[in-house]
Amino acid sequence: MKIQLLPLQAHGDDRGSLIALEEEKNIPFTIKRVYYLFDTGQGVRRGFHAHKSLKQVAIAVRGSCRFLLDDGREKIDLRLDHPQQGLLIESFVWREMYDFSPDCVLMVLADSLYDESDYVRDYPTFLQMVEA
């Protein structure tokens, strides 16, 4: 599956911690867009789509949430719960995000500007595309 957990090095001292995100360094692409999800209601499930070409890195900078990831062959369920964990998700991976803690801030870095035509929002269509 085209996903990878990226360990993000923190620069810590007795004042606290700092993580720098740099394109083509610890983020493996040119960063074109940053967005973040917050105030997600209890029990809400989001996502339900794959991307045709978008690459993204998701980081729970505060709190936690779970990802269900599916490439049409296998499914992986994982939890993001630390700002030092980045989740790289490449193209044609169906994702659902759920179990958000009330304080969760999920920040996402993307390699392209927002483009609705890059989304595959219908699961049977997604399966047909990955099988083709």
Q: What is the Cα–Cα distance from 2 to 54, expressed in whole angstroms?
A: 12
Q: Does residue 62 interact with ligand T46 by CB under 6 A?
A: no
Stretch that binds ligand T46, among 2-10, 18-26, 32-40, 73-81 (CB under 6 A): 32-40
Of the residues 11, 49, 51, 82, only one is catalytic, namely: 49
Member of 114, 122, 125, 128 binding ligand T46 (CB under 6 A): 114
| b (16+ CB within 10 A) / e for 17-41 | eeeebeeeeebebeeeeeeebeebe
Stretch that binds ligand T46, among 5-13, 18-26, 33-41, 74-82 (CB under 6 A): 33-41
Of 16 and 36, which has the nearer Cβ to ligand T46? Answer: 36
Q: Residue count at the site for ligand T46 (CB under 6 A)?
A: 11
Q: Does residue 47 interact with ligand T46 by CB under 6 A?
A: yes
Q: What angle do CA 104, 38, 29 make, to 5 degrees?
A: 90
Where does this chain bind ligand T46 (CB under 6 A)?
Answer: 33, 35, 37, 46-47, 56, 58, 95, 97, 108, 114
